[in-house]
Amino acid sequence: MSLSFYWYPKCGTCRNAKKWLDENQVDYKAIHIVEEPPSASELLSWMETSDLPAKKFFNTSGKKYRELNLKERINDLSQQEMAKILASDGMLIKRPVLTDGEKVTVGFKEDIYESVWK
C-alpha cells in the first residue's frame, strides 16, 4: 500500500501525524502541500472517496481562507468549484491529507489513523 502524505512542515498537526506514521512504521511518500498542491481532479476524487463533505477539505483557520471570504461563499460553491479553489493554493487545504488512492483522511486524529492506516 503506497501512501501519499500531503503536509506542511511548519504545521504542528502535520508534524504530529508524521511522527505517528514514523513510530508505527507506516510507509509513505511525503509531499509538501504548498510546493506540490494536489490537482483539482485529485481533490475531487478525494472528496468522492472520503465520504466527507467537500468543505471539510478547507483549512478554515487559515489566513488565505479569510482573505478570500470563503466562509460567506462556501455554501454556494459546487464541488468542482471548491476543488479548483483548493488546487490553486495548498495553504487552503486542511492538512495533513493521507491517501492510498482508495481511502482518504484529512487532518490528524490518532484514533482515526489507528483504525484506517495501521
- Are the CB atoms for 53 and 89 separated by under 8 Å? no
Q: CB pairs under 8 A, 24+ apart, for 66-70?
A: 68/92
Confidence category of residue 2, pLDDT binned at 50, 70, 90: confident
Assign 3-state DSSP to the chain and report helix, strand, coil percentages, each to 5: 50, 15, 35
> The pTM is what?
0.94
pLDDT of residue 90: 97
Phi, psi of 49 (to 5 degrees): -75, -35
pLDDT of residue 1: 58
